[in-house]
């Protein structure tokens, strides 16, 4: 099985996709809608076959990304403190 993307929202440093939401003509996917009219699009992180390294500056979210992928794949290790305080 090949997983092509992980969708993340309100997890640690990942809040929601601000750029997608503010883009003119934004149409939310059904899973982007909360409680009727609240629209918070997920951050989509494409996963490419053969990519084995994540590179970035300090505090840019590399570890947060890897934790989100691990939690999405296993469903384990998720704690209440992992969710953004603003969500």
pLDDT band at 1 (very low <50, low <70, confident <90, very high): low
**pLDDT tens-digit readout, 18-67:** 999 999 999 999 999 988 788 999 999 888 888 888 898 998 888 888 88
Asked, for residue 73, whether it belongs to a domain, the answer is yes
pLDDT of residue 28: 93
Asked, for residue 87, whether it belongs to a domain, the answer is no
Asked, for residue 57, whether it belongs to a domain, the answer is yes
Asked, for residue 33, whether it belongs to a domain, the answer is yes
Work out how many domains the chain is built from and give that number.
1
Look up the domain containing 68 and give its range.
5-82
**Which structure tokens are listed for 48?**
């490419």
CA distances from 61 to 4, 34, 42, 56, 84 (A): 20, 25, 16, 8, 14
* Model confidence, pTM: 0.74
Q: Are strands 38-39 and 33-34 parallel, antiparallel or unpaired?
A: antiparallel
Asked, for residue 55, whether it belongs to a domain, the answer is yes
């Amino acid at each position: 099985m090949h997983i092509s993307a992980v969708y993340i929202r309100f997890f640690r440093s990942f809040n929601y996709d601000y750029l997608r939401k503010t883009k003119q003509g934004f149409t939310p996917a059904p899973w982007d809608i909360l409680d009727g009219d609240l629209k918070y699009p997920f951050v989509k992180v494409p996963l490419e076959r053969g990519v084995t390294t994540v590179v970035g500056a300090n505090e840019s979210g590399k570890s947060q990304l890897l934790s989100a992928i691990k939690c999405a794949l296993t469903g384990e290790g998720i704690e209440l403190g992992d969710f953004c305080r603003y969500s």
